[in-house]
Structure 1
Amino acid sequence: MQEKRNIQIIEWEDLDKRKFYSFGVFMTMTIRATVYPATLIRTRLQVQKGKSLYSGTFDAFFKILRAEGVRGLYRGFLVNTFTLISGQGYITTYELVRKYVSTYSENNTLKSLVAGGSASLVAQSITVPIDIVSQHLMMQGQGDNMGRFKIKSKTVVLATKHKVTFGQTRDIIVQIFAADGFRGFYRGYVASLLTYIPNSAVWWPFYHFYAEQLSKWAPSECPHLLLQAMAGPLAAATASTVTNPMDVVRARVQVEGKSSVIETFKQLLAEEGFWGMTKGLSARIISSTPTAIVMVVGYETLKKLSLRPELVDSRHW
């Protein structure tokens, strides 16, 4: 039985796919550029031991800005833009899985849960190698204790190994392969899946839930896009809080070169206790808020612009 909803969801079969992908690339790039500084700060906070360099999100922001300038907030960004591929893979998988699940159930929560988790699985399989390289780039700039690669002027020392030049992305790729082989580019893959699949699976149902609840309280003439823009950050904060412990473990596994998710989790608990699991949470919520707003407004606008011509006048906006 079809659910009755105040906010009508634009489904895959309603879209002009050519427009959808053309506008989608621009939207994804805009989101990446907007939130990248917060992502970099979050990663540095999660990897540092205790509060050895930064005392919090805003302290990290101002220290990086003073010491490294605006460029410091965008270290590794060019490499990270390759995640545009995973972004397109994510939205395609999400929409196709929603369509598939709808043949068995019209329950929107179930469709969002399954589609969100599946989309994240596909995206992370593409994203993890890119993240590995970009995260090592993020670690450059301040501190000798923030990763496997120790920065000294223009040279870097790989832990327990000889000095190597570490100025370019190519050098990072060569070093990772030399140290760990091909599997080095998928270090932390399991941790990433354990972080982002639940995050995505939780975000979409909560997003639709919050939007629907807000629509019941708002005046009937209130634009649905405004309600959706409010629901996005609420869903992001909920999902970030639930999955942050695993995100801290993921960052440590990938940057410090650890091989065991369980051992990393135990070590983090032993060294920093429960509060170690909250490291980077404020930065994550801060980064997820604009991400959610830009993503929701962009994504819902993208779908509206990509509607098949005969359906344009059938959606309240």
Structure 2
Amino acid sequence: MVNSSNDVQWDDIDKFRFYGLGTGMYTLITMTLHPMNVIKTRQQVLTDSNQITSHMSKFQKIRGMYRGLGIVLVVAVPARSIYMGTMEHTKNYLQKALQSSNVTSDQRTLMASITGCVAGGVASGVTQTVVVPMDVISQRQMLNESGSAVQIISDILRNDGLRGFYRGFGMSLFSSLPIGALWWGSYSGMQNFVQGKFQQKGFDTQDLSVRGIAQVVSGVTAAAVAATLTQPLDVIKTHVQVSSSSSSTSSSMMQSQMQQKVTYSSVARELYSKTGAKGFFRGTTPRVTRMAMWGTVLSGAHQVLCHVSRKDYEFDFDFELGQKLVA
């Protein structure tokens, strides 16, 4: 089998409960990790050291760390539900197609990587039509000291029309596929590998501590691989999406981009001339950190969500287990 006997199949899940509980879960995770996205965006775009220092000092104010959160919650949470639903449906289909009763441990790890890779890539591509407009609006809020989402939407419509909401769509679509594929491919493969090693040494792979270790190792590994390899694409995409921000809050590089037609190649050339090759990796640390935290927490939460969303699941609280966990 491609998946372990303990995995919950998509066909066994109560979809109403899955999406209902998932919405609340993703909202909490999104709110908690949003500041890391703000830091990443500002590091990528603000190339002047004085601007970076000025903006970073504003992080002492909580409001500054949550710029753009409103539009993210409105769009990203339902988009995440679509993402996870698409991924689970695709993964379930692939697992059935690749199902085999006679596979080695190495083959099982490879199959887990393949199904996770393809399913993650498909899910990422499907959600881009709603995610890109959210990115355009929220990222401009992150870079501006003032201005509501409504004001930014009005500016975009006035200056660029509807197509302004899809700045960087091509790069987003192009980068989302490898990001999703690299993340879930690395995560699924590493998790299967780590659990296999624990199993070989006689550990119970359903033990909470064993699963926790596998979760963290897999999440961090997947984040490091996916974020680092796709960072240049993310930097270019972010510059294109915020290129028409107001000059009062734009970096000198952004103002230079506004005086010419903004293309991926022009952004790449400008970025390289201003910062060199290292400019394509600005914001890597907060992006890896956020992706590791997001992926580790989200994947763990997703497994719990799938478990409690089973059609045969009954919500009976085990008080003895609760006391052990608290202790």
Q: Which residue number in structure 2 is paired with residue 150 of structure 1? A: none
Contact 1:229 1:292 in 2 (8 A): no
Partner of 2:62 in structure 1?
A: 70
Q: Distance in 2 between matches of 1:174 and 1:216?
A: 54
Between the aligned partners of 1:311 and 1:103, the Cα distance in structure 2 is 27
Give the aligned partner of residue 242 of structure 2: 255
Indicate whether 1:90 and 2:73 are aligned: no
Distance 1:50 1:167 in 2: 22
Q: Which residue of 2 aligns with 1:212?
A: 192
Q: Tell me the alpha carbon deviations over residues 201-256 of structure 1, each in whole angstroms, 9 at most, x when there is no partner.
A: 11111111111221133352343531224312221121111111101001100011
Residues of 2 paired with 1:41 and 1:215: CA distance? 34
**Corresponding residue to 2:211 among 225, 247, 250:** 225
Whether the 8 Å contact between 2:118 and 2:181 is mirrored in structure 1 is: yes
Deviations 1:94-138 (A, max 9, x none): 112223333533433222122111101111111111111111111
Task: State the 4+ residue runs in structure 1 displaced beyond 6 angstroms.
Answer: none
Distance 2:278 2:116 in 1: 31
1:193 positional shift = 1.4
Cα distance, 1:293 vs. partner?
2.1
Unaligned 5+ residue runs, structure 1?
142-165, 313-317
TM-score, normalising length: structure 1: 0.81
Other structure's SS at 1:75 match: coil
- Calculate the TM-score normalised by the size of structure 2: 0.79
RMSD: 2.3
Match of 2:270 in 1: 267
Please say if residues 112 and 192 of structure 2, whose CA atoms lie closer than 8 Å, have aligned partners that are also in contact. no
* Partners of 2:222 and 2:292 within 8 A in 1: no
Residues of 2 paired with 1:111 and 1:4: CA distance?
10
Q: Supply the AA of the counterpart residue of 2:10.
A: W
Q: Which residue of 2 aligns with 1:133?
A: 137
Offset of residue 44 of structure 1: 0.6
What is the DSSP-based 3-state SS (H/G/I as helix, E as strand, rest coil) of the residue aligned with 1:53? Answer: helix
Say which SS state the counterpart of residue 10 (structure 1) adopts.
coil
**Deviations, residues 265-314 of structure 1 (Å, cap 9, x unaligned):** 222222211111110000101212221221022111111111232799xx
Indicate the SS of the match to 2:8. Answer: coil
The match for 1:191 is 171
The one-letter code sitting in structure 1 at the alignment partner of 2:73 is T
| Aligned residue type for 2:134 | I
Aligned residue number for residue 203 of structure 1: 183
Corresponding pairs, count = 280
Of the three residues 115, 125, 142, the one matched with 1:121 is 125
> Distance between the aligned counterparts of 1:102 and 1:286, measured in 2?
30
- Aligned-residue sequence identity (percent) comes to 29
Of 32, 37, 59, the residue aligned with 1:39 is: 37
1:12-64 alpha-carbon deviations (Å, 9 max, x no partner): 12312222111110111111111100100100110112534226xxx965x12
Q: Distance in 2 between matches of 1:4 and 1:35?
A: 30
Could you tell me how far apart the structure 2 residues matched to 1:86 and 1:233 are?
A: 23
Task: Give the SS at the match of 1:54.
Answer: helix
